[in-house]
Amino acid sequence: MNYSISVQPTPNPNALKFVLNVPVKARESAGFRRGLTTALPLVNALLALNGVIEVFLSGNFITITQDGTLDWDTSEGVIKEVLLKHIGAHNADFDVAAVATPGKAMDGELGRIDEILDRTIRPALQHDGGDLQVISLEGKTLTISYQGACGCCPHAAMGTLYAIQNILRDQYDPEVVVQMA
């Protein structure tokens, strides 16, 4: 099969979105940080690249986040080579819990919150090469973690966090407070 890869910028200058013509994560999304060894050769090869701190997979794209030391003009080609080398053997239907990180199993209040985020916030975050993970709800305080391009983006820490809180106050509970992990 002929694979094609296009590169798109994200609002985070330290993250690029690599869009493929095949799926890389069939359902939901998954993020993996430097220092983690997974059962996914594609992810391991990308995390092994100097300067790469996170690999985020969703649908047909992979967002690569770097530590600020990489020259994207040079690194794009290297990342594309790694993608082309490993994408043919990559299983896009992998179970996140089985490869390295906790899966997303939510019910009750967290499930309700997650459904609201799926409808309202996640499409925009995923368009920009990122996502968020709901960590916990303790009383009225919801803790989230950003993934992909959103992980170290200054917009995520300020405006996006407040937007999430406002949407949840409107559609879930007027007293909820959203914080980052």
Domain of 171, CATH number, reads 3.30.300.130
Pair 86, 129 in one domain: no
Q: Which of 99, 132, 165 is the last residue of a domain?
A: 99
Say whether both 125 and 85 belong to one domain: no
Q: How many domains does the chain have?
A: 2
Same-domain pairing of 95 and 116: no
The burial class, CB within 10 Å (0-12 / 13-18 / 19+), for 23 is middle
pLDDT value of position 100:
57
Q: 20 with 92, same domain? A: yes
Among the candidates 56, 82, 99, a domain finishes at 99
What domain range includes position 152? Answer: 108-180
Q: What is the pTM of this model?
A: 0.69
Per-residue pLDDT in tens (0 to 9) along the chain, 181 residues = 899 999 999 988 899 999 999 999 998 888 888 877 788 999 999 999 999 988 999 999 999 999 889 999 999 999 999 999 999 999 999 987 777 544 444 557 888 898 898 888 888 888 888 888 888 889 999 988 888 877 777 766 677 888 899 999 999 999 999 998 8
